[in-house]
Amino acid sequence: MQYEISGGVFPVVTCHLQGGESMITESGSMVWMTPNITMQTTGGGLDRIFSRAFSGESLFQNIYTAQGDGTIAFGASFPGRIMPIQISPGYDMILQKKSFLASEMGVELSVHINQRIGTGFFGGEGFIMQRLSGSGMAFAEIDGELVEYMLAPGQQIVVSTGNVAGFEPSVGIDIQQIHGAKNVFFGGEGLFHTILTGPGRIWLQTMPISDVAAAIRPFFPTQQN
């Protein structure tokens, strides 16, 4: 499978498939394809349906298979970037929930639950995430721009929870409460920050959907009974 990513703030990834090659994606992600590509909708069993619902993904996925050489494109649902990720045995990737866009069939999508006590009780978006494993190329949606850091062993970075796009499994994650009543009530940063601890690579996004929704919510008229 060959691919190229194009477009501006609403990018698409165009995948060129040889006969018999397949891609799997969340429902609604395909934007165009050649007529010789067939689609099959699958749930993958009750355990996988439950797993996807738990991580915020669609209950069903679509498998697109080329009958001869063909082309299919998958588009982002929000202004930002599409990040290609090469998954291989021994190299998994942890992503924020709902960021998976599409992948080759050899990539396995599963739920990743952060085990730290602080994360479990207070993590919000950071509690339940997605894990990509197996082998193949995968594509993830990034909200806004993408910033990458490589953390050394023990090195930490404090991140607003919604800005965590993904990280390698070697990176530790926990939640830190913001101290001080004035900071909590007037600082505008919520109650908690996410702490990422190296070693490993992390990916941060600059414009999470949750922040955009919070910013425009006051401009929507309230309904009157």
Of 28 and 18, the one with more pLDDT = 18
Give me the pLDDT at residue 77, please: 85
Give me the pLDDT at residue 162, please: 85
Q: What average pLDDT is seen over the chain?
A: 82
Given this structure, which CATH class describes domain 2-219? alpha beta
Of 114 and 34, the one with more pLDDT = 34
Q: What is the pLDDT of residues 136-188, one digit of tens each?
A: 999 999 999 999 999 999 999 999 878 999 999 999 988 876 654 444 444 44
| pLDDT at residue 33 tops 90 | yes
Strands of 100-104's sheet in order across: 37-42, 61-66, 22-26, 100-104, 136-143, 80-87
**pLDDT-derived band at 27, boundaries 50, 70, 90:** confident
Percentage, residues of the chain above pLDDT 70: 78
Q: Half-sphere exposure (CA, 13 Å, Cβ side) for 77? A: 15
Domain boundary assignment for the chain: 2-219
* C-beta atoms surrounding 194 within 10 Å: 24
**pLDDT-derived band at 132, boundaries 50, 70, 90:** very high
| pLDDT at residue 45 tops 60 | no
Of 218 and 90, the one with more pLDDT = 90
The answer to whether residues 34 and 70 touch, using CB atoms and an 8 Å cutoff, is yes
Percentage, residues of the chain above pLDDT 90: 53
